[in-house]
Amino acid sequence: ILPMFDNQYYRTPSYSPPPELSQPCQKPNPNEHLNGYMLNHELQFIKKIGAGTYGLIYLVENIYTKQQFAAKMVLKQPSNKQSNTKDTAMNKKLIQSQFYHYFLNHPIPTPQSLSLDYLRNQGHACPFLTEISLHLKVHQHPNIMTIHQVFNLDNFAMIILMDYFEQGDLFGNIIDQQIFSNHKYNKQLLMKNAMLQLIDAIEYCSQNNIYHCDLKPENIMVRYNPSYQRPSNNNNNDNIIDYNELHLVLIDFGLAMDSNLICCNACRGSSFYMAPERTTNFNTHKAIRQLVDMSQFETIEMDGTTVTQSNCKYLPTLSGDIWSLGVLFINITCSRNPWPIASFNDANRDSNDVFRNYMLNNNKNILAKILPISAQFNRLLDKIFKLNPNERIDLQTLYREVIRCDFFKDDHRQPSSNQQLYTPPETATYNSYASDIDEDDISDEEFYSDEEEEEDDEQQQVDNDDTNTTATSTTVGSVK
């Protein structure tokens, strides 16, 4: 039971259960799937569409209206076995088993429907409701996933009922469906449509003091109509966004924040999309201190925290999302990533020469050499990929610059080969709607500092495997 919720915040169904469902109807399933089981008196599990570290995503259907939803089910208290295992496959199997046995033993559960208004305003006080609370503050925007209901399932789990996107996420649509490269009408306009929708979503979030902190194709759902042709008067810069052609929706606020500042030692996000200040502690890295004047950033002393050089500086949170947008724009236009990780660390030196050349050698043309992008788009990316977070382009200017860009991809030019940019594998095993981030991977952590480096002559290092999600390392981590 949630002690923070009084009964006045629960909404109980006003109908009586139909007689045909009043008796237990769940039968044992040797595969431990929930297909055919009941979530409540109205909603039935159809199939699993995603799995993460602490929960499952199932397609559910209202047995009366036939309306379908995506139900994100998150455990409140993961088992000790689950918390201790680093085996992703085993972890997901344990989660599946927990949910299976719950619904097997509760043939027709009666989860309590929680007040969305109360969750939005007060949910941040409860750790496992923080994601829901932040999401609800912005879910009314057309480019952010709508939450229809939130259920409390005893002490066991929370269930978030959202829209179902049959076509899946942006990663699968870029790589498997190739919606941008195969578009039979104006490809550049379709790309621009996608970019502007993403900027709109992040702008709306920031206006409401919400920062996503984990932007990547896996966290963007897609509805796309390949046969749709824009009206003749809908091909100018005044009518670029067209939801009939393409509709993108942002999901998964599991790493989101409501603070406009983030500590310089925070490692938060997925490695391919993290800004350099999320992979390296700017305030303790010698080379970066020579390139970026750290005095421009706020020094904050947190209560109960010993202030050191590694944790005293706070950087703008929004700048990290703007950097991630730049990587997403390259995904959309080229089906590639610019680099494996935006890091200067020696551990990534051999596989990360593009980023090091781009930043340390100020070689701003290297992306145009290895990617089939236009010179105009390359100049726009340079305004996004600034090492100093304070110097990155703001969202409103970025929106205008995208509109002004004549074309993004040069289909007639073959870029030079680079071993960092290879065709990704197929995505048959990828899960949408859920992240695979382990708790150790998403918590803020301190990096090795140059003070330690002077003592033991070791270069600071960000563990790429730990900061990257499983989905990223096997799928969109390969959109590069």
- Please enumerate, by residue number, every residue annotated as part of a binding site for ATP: 76
Of 275, 294, 409, the C-alpha closest to 355 is 275
Query: Residues annotated as binding site?
Result: 76
Query: 3-state SS of 6-34?
Result: CHHHEECCCCCCCHHHCCCCCCCCCCCCC
Cα(323)–Cα(204) distance, integer angstroms: 17
Cα(163)–Cα(400) distance, integer angstroms: 30
Cα(360)–Cα(54) distance, integer angstroms: 39
Q: Maximum distance among all alpha carbons in the chain?
A: 74
Contact between 346 and 356 (Cβ < 8 Å): no
Task: Kindly report the length of the chain.
Answer: 480
Helix (H) or strand (E) holding 370: helix 366-370
Cα(256)–Cα(202) distance, integer angstroms: 12
Contact between 338 and 364 (Cβ < 8 Å): no
From residue 227, alpha-carbon distances to 35, 163, 221, 296, 367 in Å are 33, 23, 19, 51, 33
